[in-house]
Amino acid sequence: MDDWTPHRRDDGELLGWIHPAGDDWTAVDVLGRSVSGAVDWLVAEEALESHGLAWLADPWMLEREASTPLRVSFVEVTPSSAEVEGRIVVKVEDFGDMQAPPSERFVLPWPAPTTLRPVRDGDPDGRTLTR
């Protein structure tokens, strides 16, 4: 990550990084996932700007071995740096229920593993119990 340049919104919030890709540049979001191919610098910046951060508030799924995926929400995203080993913390979706016991949390490595993914059609909704 030494050659990754942080890209921030006007308010200073980190949107991701832009790093060399041959003679071009690639945009990477805060989960460490590419949001562009090898493109011009300005196109990489635009890719991060249009990708934004709002998607972090969307429902996500955590796939587990021999079990149905869990609907989760983000608690923490800490990218790796020279000082800190990155991590991603998600919790089982509790739909904001302040009366419920704390949801189970999972600590994942950064960049995000492929087992953490956006919701797809047919995924459990987190409110339906199955046997």
Instruction: Write the pLDDT tens digit of every residue in 43-79.
Output: 999 999 999 999 999 989 999 887 889 999 999 999 9
Whether 87 has a pLDDT exceeding 50, the answer reads: yes
37 or 122, greater pLDDT: 37
Select from 60, 56, 74 the least CA-distant residue to 15. 56
Residue 125 lies in a domain: no
Q: Which residue has the tokens 């249009």?
A: 50
Output the CA–CA distances (angstroms, integers) from residue 19 to 3, 29, 32, 82, 131, in the order listed. 6, 11, 12, 17, 47
Number of domains in the chain: 2
Same domain, 10 and 27: yes
Residue 128 lies in a domain: no
Instruction: Write the pLDDT tens digit of every residue in 94-106.
Output: 877 778 788 899 9
Same domain, 32 and 74: no
How much is the pTM?
Answer: 0.86
What is the rounded CA–CA span in Å between residue 101 and residue 94? Answer: 9
Angle at 44 (CA atoms; ends 76, 1), nearest 5 degrees: 55
Same domain, 65 and 112: yes
Same domain, 112 and 64: yes
The residue segments making up the domain with residue 37 are 5-53
Whether 33 has a pLDDT exceeding 90, the answer reads: yes
Same domain, 43 and 68: no
